Structure formats: structure tokens, C-alpha cells
Structure 1
Amino acid sequence: MHAFDVLGDPVRRRILELLADGEATSGMVTEVVTAEFGISQPAVSQHLKVLRENGFATVRPEGTRRLYSVGTEPLREIDEWLRPFRRFWAPRLDALGTELARGKRERRKQQENP
């Protein structure tokens, strides 16, 4: 399965967002995803399986629990694929960073000289 096919599903993207915060049990992932998407535990397990089989998630057993985390290799491949497109947004993000820094400096000056 192609990386974008895997990430094309909103449930799988949400699972990766949860895992981006750090290792999570399958139970925690299932609880959040079933609440947000209204799907069953077996459906969440299938999504975790797709992520695992395609390298987006890794799993390690800890006693009776299964702990999932983000698999980085497919994300590196996507990052590499996106490289030629960064020119469309990188300058704008740089300009935004400059404006944010300018605003911080102005607020700091106003606080120092009330």
C-alpha cells in the first residue's frame, strides 16, 4: 500500500496524531477513536494493523498490553517526496516567523516602557 493511501484515511491520520504524542496502548487509542469516529474496537484494530504493516506504527508487548508508537521510515519517505513542494510554503512560513518575532519584540518593548 502506498504511503498516501495509508494516510488518506482520517481514522489512520488521527491514530498517528495520537501516537505522535508518545507511546500509547491499543486501549487508549481505541477509546479515543471510537469516541471520535463511532467505529468499533475491531475496526480500530484493523486500522492499527494497516499502520503497523506499512511501517507507520510499531508495537511492543508489555505484559498483557500492546504499546504503539510512530514508525518513522514511511514519514521520512513522505518528507522526501514533499521536498520539491516546500518552495510553495517555506517563504510564507519564514515571513510569518519574522512577523511573529517582530510582534514579540514590540510587546516586550511596550512592557519595558509602559
Structure 2
Amino acid sequence: MTMMGPIGDEGSSEALLSEALLLYRTAAEVFATVIEDARSGDEKAAREAQGYAREFHKALQTAMQERQKVEQLCKQDAGIAYHYALDFDRARDEVGRRMARLRAAGGGG
């Protein structure tokens, strides 16, 4: 397993999510194999399937929670608030333009 740096590092959150999804896919493949063995009459596999089902469910929940966290961090990094990206340069220009119009309309003093 590769150690990741802090979340602020370039690409670390995406790499972490990618690794989690790879582990999830691997668990799904193992679970599918156990289910096939249980269907073919393997009693041990049938008992193990219940444990794998619980672990698989936990892994799914964890992967989804981590994905939500990564998406939230990506939105924060991009300056997205309430599903809209904030363009501070454009806002600064607009405020400056309006201030200039107010100064011009003010008449002098």
C-alpha cells in the first residue's frame, strides 16, 4: 500500500479514491467467487458468503463516503459554493466598475 501525503497535495485525493475503488472491485470479485462456490454446493463457502456480504457492504459504504469527501474537497479547491463556481476576478472587476459609476454620478466631492 502506498502512503499518501496530506489532502492538499496535487492529485492525492484522486489517487486515494482510485485505490479505494480498486480495493472495492477486488472485494466484489472475491465475493462473486464465493457466491458461485456456495451455489455449487460448497457449505463452507455458503457460511463464508454471509461474512463476505457484511464486509462487502461496509466496503461499499466506506467507498461512497470517501467519494463524497473527495468530491467536496474538489469543489472547495475549485471555489464552488452551492453548486456555483465563484469567479472572484470577475466580481472584483464588477465592483470596480460600479464604484467608478457611483463616483462619476456623485458629481465631485
Same fold (TM over 0.5): no
Larger radius of gyration: 2
Q: Give 1 or 2: higher helix fraction.
A: 2
Higher relative contact order (CA 8 A, sep 6+): 1
